[in-house]
Amino acid sequence: MRIRFLWITVLLSLIFCSQAFCFEWQRSSPEKSGINAEVIKGVFSSLPSDVYSCVIIRDGKIVDEYFKDGYGPSSVFTIQSCSKSITSALVGIAIEQGFIKSVDDFAADYLTQLANSKFHEMKKITLKHLLNHTSGLVGTDSKIWGEWRSSSNWIDFIVSRPMTSKPGANFEYSTGNTHLLAAVLEKATGKGLFDYAKEVLFEKIGITSAELGTDPQGIGDGGNGFSLTAYDMARFGQLFLDGGKWDGVQVVPENWVKESTSLQARKNGSRYGYQWWLRNYGKAGYLGYNAQGFGGEYIFVVPKLRLIVVYTSWHMGNLNSYFYNVDKIVNATKG
């Protein structure tokens, strides 16, 4: 009986590990990974005091990392608008599972506030318009941010205001768009955003640090409210770098990864996918993409180099240094 019990314990452990919870980042050195170590050292030494962490990963291995004193791999950070990229991934999964038909669905089919709006154009807003920030709804990431976030009902606040343009006409980055996507996901799946995220995404890739805030009605704050460790942010980046697969299992549909990180909207030189920013990196102009959060939260992904750079910080100054440093790391990486 004792032997049988031990075998059962071993089998249960293997099953548990197969669900990605036993994953640990492997490590390499900059030299072995084809990155100039002196450049990384220079990047880390130049980081301002309000940067909490910077993790560099190539070929699925941690090449080097920086943690400010008092912070480490287990520190959980509010990732601000990096949350948007997670919510986008959940939309892709929900479409694959049949909860949502396509990005061309009208948001009003899920949200009564839009269906009952006195503004007729709101009924024409599709999920795609929300995903690429061309909804035409009033932008929340401006002088009305505080008023919106302190309002008693975030969705009513948005839909009660006149539209600024017709759906699809103009790009205006707005956390309100992503919050509507979170509400759509909850309506379509019948689950809270956090519960759904844990079931179909986090538990699949072994993310255990995740937390999520909500609006006054309890709807998950999918546009700004997720919290993760830097390592778990990197897991999400690695998932997309690997085409939505984790340990051989397709977690996010491959076609969704491609669509999300392809050009869906542009304005004044900025390029945007489905809740990911698009950019060329380094002197070679490698095409990549990044999740970006207020105050300097970033997940940079450069597929051609199989490179990921994660930042957490609370920096209120110019953010150009983050991109400049990533370009330096890219330039120091052998192709």
Please give the backbone phi and psi of residue 85, each rounded to the nearest 5 degrees, phi first: -65, -35
pLDDT band, residue 6 (cuts 50/70/90): very low
Tokens of 310: 């994660």
Average confidence (pLDDT) over 98-103:
98
Tokens of 113: 């506030």
DSSP state of 80: G
| Residue 299 and residue 202 share a domain | no
Q: What DSSP string runs through 287-326?
A: EEEEEEETTTEEEEEEGGGTEEEEEEE---S--HHHHHHH
Cβ atoms of 240 and 261 within 8 Å: the answer is yes
Per DSSP bridges, beta strands 249-250 and 307-313 are: unpaired
| Residue 227 and residue 330 share a domain | no
Helices (H) and strands (E) in the chain, counts: 13, 14
Share of the chain above pLDDT 90, in %: 92
Residue 322 located in a structural domain:
yes
| Residue 120 and residue 204 share a domain | yes
| Residue 58 and residue 101 share a domain | no
Residue 13 has pLDDT above 90, yes or no: no
Residue 198 located in a structural domain:
yes
Domain count, the chain: 2
Q: Can you give the residue range of the structural domain that contains 174? A: 75-233+249-260
Please give the backbone phi and psi of residue 167, each rounded to the nearest 5 degrees, phi first: -55, 130
CATH number of the domain to which 161 belongs = 3.40.710.10
DSSP state of 105: S
Residue 286 located in a structural domain:
yes
| Residue 224 and residue 83 share a domain | yes
Query: pLDDT per residue over 21-73, tens digit each?
Result: 567 899 999 999 999 999 999 999 999 999 999 999 999 999 999 999 999 99
| Residue 200 and residue 289 share a domain | no
Q: From residue 193, give the alpha-carbon distance in Å to each of 41, 198, 262.
A: 39, 9, 25
Which pLDDT value is given to residue 335?
87
Give the integer Cα–Cα distance in Å for 291 and 77: 15
| Residue 82 and residue 45 share a domain | no
| Residue 206 and residue 288 share a domain | no
| Residue 316 and residue 174 share a domain | no
Residue 180 located in a structural domain:
yes
Residue 11 has pLDDT above 60, yes or no: no
Which pLDDT value is given to residue 23?
74
Which pLDDT value is given to residue 9?
45
Please state, rounded to an integer, the average pLDDT across all residues of the chain. Answer: 94
CATH number of the domain to which 35 belongs = 3.30.450
Residue 1 located in a structural domain:
no
Query: pLDDT per residue over 116-170, tens digit each?
Result: 999 999 999 999 999 999 999 999 999 999 999 999 999 999 999 999 999 999 9
Which pLDDT value is given to residue 20?
55
Give the integer Cα–Cα distance in Å for 72 and 206: 18
Residue 228 located in a structural domain:
yes
Helix (H) or strand (E) holding 78: strand 76-78
Residue 238 located in a structural domain:
no
| Residue 314 and residue 254 share a domain | no
Per DSSP bridges, beta strands 245-246 and 249-250 are: antiparallel
Residue 12 has pLDDT above 80, yes or no: no
Query: pLDDT per residue over 312-327, tens digit each?
Result: 999 998 899 999 999 9
Residue 222 has pLDDT above 80, yes or no: yes
Residue 17 has pLDDT above 90, yes or no: no
Residue 304 has pLDDT above 80, yes or no: yes
Average confidence (pLDDT) over 235-264:
98
Q: What is the pTM of this model?
A: 0.94
| Residue 332 and residue 208 share a domain | no
Which pLDDT value is given to residue 24?
85
Q: How are the residues of the chain apportioned to helix, strand and coil, as percentages rounded to the nearest 5?
A: 40, 20, 40
Residue 19 located in a structural domain:
no
pLDDT band, residue 100 (cuts 50/70/90): very high
Chain position carrying tokens 């590990």:
17
Average confidence (pLDDT) over 182-203:
98
| Residue 65 and residue 185 share a domain | no
